[in-house]
Each structure stands twice: as structure tokens, then as C-alpha cells.
Amino acid sequence: MLRLLEIEYNKLRYSRSARILIITYFILITFIALIASIEFNIGQIEFRVADQGIFNFPYIWHFNSYIAAILKLFLAIVIVSMMSNEYSNRTIKQNLIDGLSKKEFILSKFLTVIVFSGISTLFLFVVTMILGLSFSDFNEASIIFSDLEFLLAYFVKLTGFFAFCMFLGILVKRSAFALGFLVVWAILEKILYAFLNFKVFKGTDIATEIMQFFPLESISNLIVEPFSRLNAVQTAASQIGGELDKDYGIHWYQLLIVIVWIVIFVYASLILLRKRDL
């Protein structure tokens, strides 16, 4: 495995665009800290974002995981480009000539996906701990380390998304077309959901139950938006007679659905590669 990772590392090391995208991704995650400095002055009222509890433990695990996951497109571009470059530079053919099997080739790419997801999760953990210990009103260990399941969901979310990108990179061969296919697939899932929800199963939750098994929707469902958990939002909703009753938890079956898709994407990539004439 280390040999396979070393091969991929050497490929990425000499890719200037990959280095820029990876560095940009991690820099943007650290920019979450800048949210703490946002202030609004409305007349005599001073509104400071950090005072709204977004950096309080354990809520910060949810908030940071959700925000950081939005930035995953930067690494997705690296994954797709990594696959397309294998074809354009003919390195895939050279790897196979040098004795690398097609199974080992796919494994090397998937191991890279795992490493990207693992490093991202570890980095997010460090950033969140620093922000939480700096701004949180609660510093008890039992509170700090509760809700860590959001990091697990973040890791699975990234792995699932990157595995999908890896599959698209092999399927389409061109990074621009692969990313375009990704956007089109996301739009199609939304259109299908709207059709099922407003036409076929109107007034029920059946459409939501069906769509949770689709790849991008299942990945998206792992971490629900955290903003409606804020006290200010909850208070505002209660004052206008509304009630926000949303399930923010991380559920095992949601993780399982994404893990199944990861397995499908990896094996589909291998099947595609075995059937292709390189």
C-alpha cells in the first residue's frame, strides 16, 4: 500500500495545479475562524457572530463539519484531474507496462481518496479544537468531545464524494466533462425529487425516503444544515408561532448507504478499467 501511495504522491507533487487547489482548500478551512470577527451594528444594537454560540462545544463540531464540507469541490477537482491526467499523459499505460495491475491502479487512487479524506478530517479536528477552546462557553471534557460523530460523517461524506469523482474521472476521461457530468447529475437528482414530491407522492414523505438512496442526496444527508439549531433562530421561530423540529443526528443507516455507494463506485471503476482498451 505504501508503494501505491508513493506512486500517487510523486504524481501529485509535480502537479502545480493540484498543489494550488489542495493548499487553497486547507487555507479556506482555516478561514472559518474569520466568522468570529464578523460584526453588525444596527442602530444601538451590536451583533457579533461569535456571540451567537456557533463556536460553542458541542455545536461547533456540527457547524464546522457542514461549512468545511461545502469546500470539498476543491479536492474533487484534484481527484478528477488526477484521473484525466492518467489518460492525457498516458501514465496509466506506463504504470501497467511497469507491472502495476489494474486492480492495484484503482486501489492506489482509492487510497489517495482515503488519505485526502483522513487528512481533511484531522485538519478539521485541529481547527475546531482551537476555535472551540478559544470561544466556547463550555470547556468540560464531556461536552468538548460529544458530537464527534460529525467528524465521522464528514470523513464518510468526503470519501463518498471523492469516490464518485474518481468513478466519473474514469468514465469520462476528461476533467472538464467529468465535473460537468457531476453538476448535471446533481441537477437531475433535484429535478427527480421535485417531480416525485410535487407530482407523484404529493403531500407525503415518500419522495424523501426514495431520494435518500441516490448517491449525491445520500452524501448530502449525512450532515444537515446547522443554522436552525442556533438559539437566535429558534427564538425567532417561536416568536412568529413556528417550531423548528428537525433531526440533526448522524444515523447509522445514512452512513451505510454512502459506504455502499463507495463500494459501488470503486468496483464500477475497476470494471470500466478492465473492459477498456488502453
Separation between Cα atoms, residue 228 and residue 232, nearest integer Å? 9
Lowest mean pLDDT among 40-49, 77-86, 136-145: 40-49
pLDDT of residue 148: 92
Distant-in-sequence contacts of 30-35, Cβ < 8 A, 24+ apart = 30/127, 32/64, 32/67, 32/68, 32/127, 32/131, 33/127, 33/130, 33/131
Highest mean pLDDT among 105-109, 134-138, 246-250: 105-109
**What is the radius of gyration, based on Cα positions, of the chain?**
21
pLDDT of residue 275: 85
pTM (global) more than 0.85: yes
What's the mean pLDDT when you consider all of the chain?
Answer: 85
pLDDT digits (tens, 9 = 90+) for 135-160: 888 888 889 998 899 999 999 999 99
Cell output for 238 = 417561536
pLDDT band at 121 (very low <50, low <70, confident <90, very high): very high
pLDDT digits (tens, 9 = 90+) for 10-30: 777 777 788 888 888 888 888
pLDDT of residue 8: 73
pLDDT of residue 81: 84
Whether the predicted pLDDT of 237 surpasses 70: no
pLDDT band at 204 (very low <50, low <70, confident <90, very high): confident
Whether the predicted pLDDT of 47 surpasses 70: no
Contacts of 169 (CB under 8 A, 6+ apart): 79, 80, 81, 82, 83, 84, 175, 178
pLDDT digits (tens, 9 = 90+) for 178-189: 889 999 999 999
Tell me the longest C-alpha to C-alpha distance in the chain: 72
pLDDT of residue 48: 64
Whether the predicted pLDDT of 249 surpasses 80: yes
Across the range 26-49, mean pLDDT stands at 69
pLDDT of residue 244: 65
